[in-house]
Amino acid sequence: MVDVKRAGEHALPTETRIWPLKRFTEIHKRSVEDPERFWAEEARKLDWYKTWDRVLEWDPPYARWFVGGKLNASYQCVDRHVKTWRRSKVAIYWEGENGETRVLSYSTLFYEVNRFASVLLRLGVRQGDRVALYLPMIPELPIFMLACARIGAVHTVIFSGFSAKALCDRVDDTQARVVITADGGYRRGKVIPLKHIADEAADICPSIEKIIVVKRSGEPVSMKEGRDLWLPDLLAEAESYVKPEPLEATHPLYVLYTSGTTGKPKGIVHNTGGYMVFNHSAYEWVFDIKEESIYWCTADVGWVTGHSQIVYAPLSHGAAMVIYEGALDYPQIDRWWEIVERYGVSIFYTSPTAIRMFMRHGEGWPLRHDLSSLELLGSVGEPINPEAWMWYYKYIGGERCPIVDTWWQTETGGVMISPTPGIEPIPLKPGSATFPLPGVDAAIVDTDGREVRTGETGLLIIRNPWPGMLADVYGDPQRYRESYWSRFPGAYYTGDLALRDQDGYFWLLGRADEVLKIAGHRIGTAEVEDAAVSHPAVSEAAAAGRPDPVKGDGIVLFVTLREGAQRSPELKRDICRHVRDTIGPIATPDEVHFIDLLPKTRSGKIMRRVLKAIAAGQSPGDLTTIEDEASIDEVKRAFASIR
């Protein structure tokens, strides 16, 4: 049993232990009563070339924020700081997996962003063009993002763990002509041949005209004449200053792909003004960032956490941060604690999966290090179980640091539900993300859209537009409407289950749809199924999530075989490898089962509830209300035929 009360009390400095929350409640009330006025005040914290004519044009389901306003995200993140003493402040402490280090001050970052922007311009990249970034966690990745933002090009970062096919799908969807990659990236001591993978993608992706290659690993790579260019050669001719483009607030900043309920990932579009304003404010509220903070978010820039919480929010505040390239257990399981100690990290933000991994190896590893610089801890990406919360609180935070459990999504752009120590410390409950941020009107409803009662589980919706919200699904407005705005008209549907307790605290309970969270990464069961049926021996496939004590969800794959294919352990392994090669290592099934027939409803839909039950090792008897969907015999047969 977790001692909830004790943790909540200990996480707060005594003098601020106040209840009810005064400042927070007042600000939140003001923000939902007059959102336009509230957000206009927040927006004034950024630098604008021209202020907006209207704070919000809300034509459901499209919200246009700060209409008529002009700004530049790269200006917010670098130019603004080099005009002050921060020019000599450290922006990035970079640590390579192989022990290499680089330190970039704000002035060096400014210089590099300008030169990279010049490289893009010289290659003919113009405002509105899409640029694909397929890079490891090296400083060149944020620098290229900011360089794109500087000239108004729209970046689309593709996680460096994705396969050639996944890379190609995303590049193809945006029709990016330029791909930026590296000769290799380090992961657990091995080199991932990124350029080679990009070559494979280019073979099947006709939009790719140029590949810029960053030197990282020094591995030999093949360079195709006329298409491939080394970054150092391009930089040799680059200008040292490129004027930031004053962009409309509604100009897209980036497209980032995320998984939904179909096989095709969605290109989530974020626009410049709303996204920057929302993230700038939320970052201050959630992380209570101070000039002297040393901040470290362990996410990969390939996911939204990296976009908002490594690049745009911290840099817009002129924060000093750590970026680490590699695996958490390389060369051994205390690598992260060694980094915290060495750089004196004060704010540390990671995922529940990582915490559970460390728990498994025991507190001996963190206890070996001096972690007394830590002041605030954060968690993101999946529900954190109270046991992991307590372990984090005790052994990493030394029972002194509050934990901000931050709920948000690729689509929301920034943190939506979280404690806000930057406004006022909120008494914490292990496993609860506490309350919606100012400007966020969250509710939990039943399938008819009626608010559920205290303690009842329902679907989480957001009842108002907020500046960080996605602007669209790239090239697919219909999917934007259908996925987010049609289930509960006028409200944004998150796809998450949640409940509120007697104190009004929000508890996020996982996905309500066919999206899995594997080590905090989002993968749709349909993507896994599409990959599986592209294997020559597979006829039909169904994927289900199975609770995993460390990763959150694991993947169990059920397949029916084509005629003539022989069931064998080798075939299982081969199907597994095929899925992994098609999507990337994060989508590797934990188990593959052969099944004679997939249990389906009368209308032909796969009965995932049955498969989930099988995946979780339950019996057909545990499924009580199945009769109206299919015959119980069919379900029993499905169970019986599993191998």
CB 238 within 8 A of CB 212: no
Least separation in angstroms between CB 416 and ligand WT7: 9
Of 159, 208, 316, 197, nearest to 253 by C-alpha is 316
Least separation in angstroms between CB 113 and ligand WT7: 25
Least separation in angstroms between CB 89 and ligand WT7: 27
| Rounded Cα–Cα distance for residues 39 and 65 (Å) | 9
Least separation in angstroms between CB 355 and ligand WT7: 12
Least separation in angstroms between CB 631 and ligand WT7: 34
CB 255 within 8 A of CB 130: yes
Kindly tell me which of 108 and 350 has the beta carbon lying closer to ligand WT7: 350
Determine phi and psi for 372, rounding to 5 degrees. -70, -10
Least separation in angstroms between CB 411 and ligand WT7: 7
Binding site for ligand WT7 (CB under 6 A): 258, 303-305, 380-383, 405-410, 433, 494-496, 508, 510-511, 517, 522
Kindly tell me which of 310 and 638 has the beta carbon lying closer to ligand WT7: 310
In DSSP terms, 543 is beta-bridged to 557
Residue corresponding to tokens 């997996």: 97
Least separation in angstroms between CB 520 and ligand WT7: 6
| Rounded Cα–Cα distance for residues 154 and 172 (Å) | 14
Least separation in angstroms between CB 451 and ligand WT7: 20
Of 334, 350, 341, 328, nearest to 371 by C-alpha is 341
Kindly tell me which of 217 and 494 has the beta carbon lying closer to ligand WT7: 494
Least separation in angstroms between CB 242 and ligand WT7: 31
Q: For strand 266-271 and strand 320-324, is the pairing parallel, antiparallel, or unpaired?
A: unpaired
Kindly tell me which of 69 and 265 has the beta carbon lying closer to ligand WT7: 265
Query: Exposed, middle or buried, 29 (CB in 10 Å: 0-12/13-18/19+)?
Result: exposed
Kindly tell me which of 383 and 554 has the beta carbon lying closer to ligand WT7: 383
* C-beta neighbour count of 3 within 10 angstroms: 12
Kindly tell me which of 312 and 408 has the beta carbon lying closer to ligand WT7: 408
3-class DSSP assignment, residue 75: helix
Kindly tell me which of 304 and 528 has the beta carbon lying closer to ligand WT7: 304
Q: Which two tokens stand for residue 47?
A: 């630098």
3-class DSSP assignment, residue 503: coil
Q: Tell me the CA distances in angstroms from 413 to 267, 277, 407, 471, one per residue in order.
A: 13, 11, 11, 10
CB 576 within 8 A of CB 569: no
Kindly tell me which of 110 and 159 has the beta carbon lying closer to ligand WT7: 159
Q: For strand 252-258 and strand 442-445, is the pairing parallel, antiparallel, or unpaired?
A: unpaired
Least separation in angstroms between CB 513 and ligand WT7: 9
Kindly tell me which of 163 and 305 has the beta carbon lying closer to ligand WT7: 305
In DSSP terms, 522 is beta-bridged to 517
Least separation in angstroms between CB 607 and ligand WT7: 23
Q: Which two tokens stand for residue 428?
A: 């914490």
| Rounded Cα–Cα distance for residues 606 and 608 (Å) | 6
Q: What is the DSSP letter of 79?
A: I
Kindly tell me which of 274 and 620 has the beta carbon lying closer to ligand WT7: 274
- Contacts of residue 39, defined as CB under 8 A and 6 or more positions apart, other chains included, come to 31, 55, 56, 65, 277, 439, 467
Kindly tell me which of 108 and 406 has the beta carbon lying closer to ligand WT7: 406
Q: Tell me the CA distances in angstroms from 565 to 455, 556, 557, one per residue in order.
A: 50, 20, 17
